[in-house]
Amino acid sequence: MSDGDCLFCRIVAGTIPSRRAYEDELVIAFHDVAPRAPTHVLIVPRHHIASALELGDADGPLLGRMFAAAAEVARSQGIAEQGYRLVSNVGRWGGQTVDHVHLHLLGGRPFEWPPG
């Protein structure tokens, strides 16, 4: 898949509309169109990385920014104090359906452990 074929790259570029919750020079966060919780926001890097399997040491600052963005979104959505879950699905068996690394921020209700 080329970057131009990637759903999340098109959302980042603005060619597919989204309800954005956060954005900076490295990442954007937008509300999931099929939410699995009262708050369900996706945090994605602006540049294409297909999977967490492609991440390396040089991606540390990006990952830090993604987690900082998640915390900011949790605060702005009013779920930070009660808690939330961050999920990154990797590969088909891990449940990854879009080949662009991303975090799911889920909140607004209690979650069970173990998941799935």
Domains of the chain with CATH codes: 3-107 (3.30.428.10)
Cβ-defined contacts of 62-68 (< 8 Å, 24+): 62/26, 62/27, 65/24, 65/26, 65/27, 66/27, 66/103, 67/103
pLDDT at 3 over 80: no
Q: What percent of the chain has pLDDT over 90?
A: 94
Q: In the prediction, which pLDDT does 115 show?
A: 85
Residue scoring higher pLDDT (67 or 1): 67
Q: In the prediction, which pLDDT does 2 show?
A: 57
102 is catalytic: yes
Which tens digit of pLDDT belongs to each residue from 20-51? 999 999 999 999 999 999 999 999 999 999 99
pLDDT at 112 over 90: yes
* 48, 100, 102, 104: the active-site residue: 102
